[in-house]
Amino acid sequence: MVSSEASLHYIRQNDMEASKKKKKKTLKVIDNQTGQELTLELHNNTIRAVDLAKLGVTVYDPGFLNTASCISRITYIDGDKGILRYRGYPIEELAEKSTFMEVSFLLLYGELPTSRELEHFTHRVLRHTFLKQSLVDIIKATPKESHPMGLLVSMLAAEGTLYPDANPAISGGDVYNSPRVREKQILRLLGTMPTLAAFVYRHKMGRPFNYPAYGGSRSYTENFMYMLDSMEDPSYRPNATLVKALDTLFVLHADHELNCSTAAVRHLTSSDVDVFTAFSGAAGALYGPLHGGANEAVLRMLERIGSVEKVPAFIEAVKNRKARLMGFGHRVYKNYDPRARIVRKLAYQVFEICGKDPLIEIATTLEEHALKDNYFIERKLYPNVDFYSGLIYKAMGFPTDFFTILFAIGRTPGWLAHWLEYLDDPDKKIARPKQNYLGSDQRSYIPLTQRNSSVKYSTEYVSPAEKRRVNGFAVAKM
């Protein structure tokens, strides 16, 4: 441990001598306690944390506020300027001109596909949309009111058990060295994700499942909507504007660099676990209301507010820390989330077909109030992608608890792109953060009869139902 007086001076210097020769940027660190100096190399404004270990120093960074855990070439975000680019392409252009399949290819392979590549890739993905019967049976066996994200977490883990030949736990840690095995997992995950979601939806509605339309001219998103909505009519075609809107939402959600769920994919993959289990963990992270679950939380918040007149009181409650303005604020964006602008526009296109959701008035009034209020201005809190996406989903008639699974479909290519990038990362190592231990020093075991309770464990938390049960008794078999 470094004592409280100890401090480190970080001197950012462009080492002139070195820069003349090699143009190297360095950072000098001085331990004021010992006088020891360390010159660290800076690459892209980043030092290697392990270099600090030479001074016996550890970096404490809960929530990873300033820690880069990988080198990535997939997605660029400038949170202050509100910039988001996939593989260099601005999100605004991709949302307007591209499609989800094209963006998936871009994220996975680094370049936009040629028309032949796109056709081949889409065809291959759509050839992997069928669910194995055991997965269908699991969905059927779950209660209709199960949360779709809870089901997705379980279904992805279950799906992983179906391919032992592609599971490092069974077939060895090098199984993913084969490009064919990798490709197959990509197709399986991209292909089955919408089918899982659609089957969960139909199960919830108490309707028979629509199996994916095989081949033909349906796009990925059209096929998904077909599975959701066809009343056993193979010729059913969903509305083209709604297909485009949902496809654009998938594009907007496709990647967002090291968010909580994508970081989870890398974290789990670092143990060599199979990609389905890594995805199950990622889906679990996405489920949380501070991450992908925020779109659902926004809707519930708008419903609780109930009317435009109640917006000022709600804003006051947020400022007094009695409530949180869901769909606002972001770890990275300290400006308007560029995706939120696009989603807001998209919402009105959907309203023209499905009707305007009255909650939009509450949402826009909340936004107006928040954007001119000092609490939000000082903290740079702006609407994020989830602020309006839930309203589109609601206007399209999706149940509130279904929103995050739509996010998960969109995020699939991003998770996969990070999985691929991680597999080839020369710096990959099992993720194992250090801790800063402040617990007890060594002490001796106390016999049971000599202990005094001093911990926060209560013996009071017993429900009336449990009391009723424990007051009964079993008649032992003679």
Ligand X SMILES: CC(C)(COP(=O)(O)OP(=O)(O)OC[C@H]1O[C@@H](n2cnc3c(N)ncnc32)[C@H](O)[C@@H]1OP(=O)(O)O)[C@@H](O)C(=O)NCCC(=O)NCCS
Q: Which residues ranging from 316 to 375 are in contact with ligand X (CB under 6 A)?
A: 318, 324-331
What tokens appear for 445 in the block?
Answer: 């075991």
Angstrom CA distances, 118 to 85, 98, 192, stand at 20, 12, 19
Residue 401 and residue 186: Cα distance in Å, rounded?
26
Q: Which residues ranging from 51 to 80 are in contact with ligand X (CB under 6 A)?
A: 63
Contact 194, 224 (CB under 8 A): yes
Residue nearest ligand X, Cβ-based:
329
Of 129, 185, 384, 404, which lies in the binding site for ligand X, with binding defined by CB under 6 A? Answer: 384
Closest CB 295 distance from ligand X, rounded Å: 8
Q: Which range, of 6-14, 174-182, 236-244, 381-389, touches ligand X by CB under 6 A? A: 381-389
Nearer to ligand X, 324 or 356 (CB): 324
Q: Is there a catalytic annotation at residue 15?
A: no
Residue 58 and residue 438: Cα distance in Å, rounded?
14
Nearer to ligand X, 189 or 326 (CB): 326
Q: Which residues ranging from 134 to 153 are in contact with ligand X (CB under 6 A)?
A: none
Nearer to ligand X, 176 or 333 (CB): 333
Nearer to ligand X, 125 or 326 (CB): 326
Closest CB 48 distance from ligand X, rounded Å: 25
- Listed in sequence order, the residues at least 6 apart from 360 whose beta carbon sits closer than 8 Å to its beta carbon are 347, 351, 391
* Catalytic residue of the set 203, 256, 267, 330: 330
3-state secondary structure 28-79: EEEECCCCCEEEEEEECCECCHHHHHHHCCCCCCHHHCCCCCCCCCCEEEEC
Nearer to ligand X, 228 or 265 (CB): 265
Q: Which range, of 8-16, 27-35, 145-153, 382-390, touches ligand X by CB under 6 A? A: 382-390
Residue 93 and residue 78: Cα distance in Å, rounded?
17
State how far Cα 221 lies from the chain centre.
20
- The residue whose two tokens read 């696009």 is 342
- The residue whose two tokens read 């370049």 is 111
Closest CB 324 distance from ligand X, rounded Å: 4
Residue 281 belongs to what H/E stretch?
helix 275-287
Contact 312, 369 (CB under 8 A): yes
Q: Return the closest-CA partner of residue 101 out of 268, 230, 288, 243.
A: 243
Q: For the window 260-299, what string marks contact with ligand X as x by the rule CB under 6 A?
A: ------------------------------x---x-----
Q: Could you tell me how many residues of this chain bind ligand X (CB under 6 A)? A: 17
* Catalytic residue of the set 274, 386, 401, 418: 386
Q: Is there a catalytic annotation at residue 255?
A: no
Closest CB 402 distance from ligand X, rounded Å: 17
Residues that bind ligand X (CB under 6 A): 63, 290, 294, 318, 324-331, 379, 381, 384-386
Q: Looking at the annotation, which residues are catalytic?
A: 330, 386
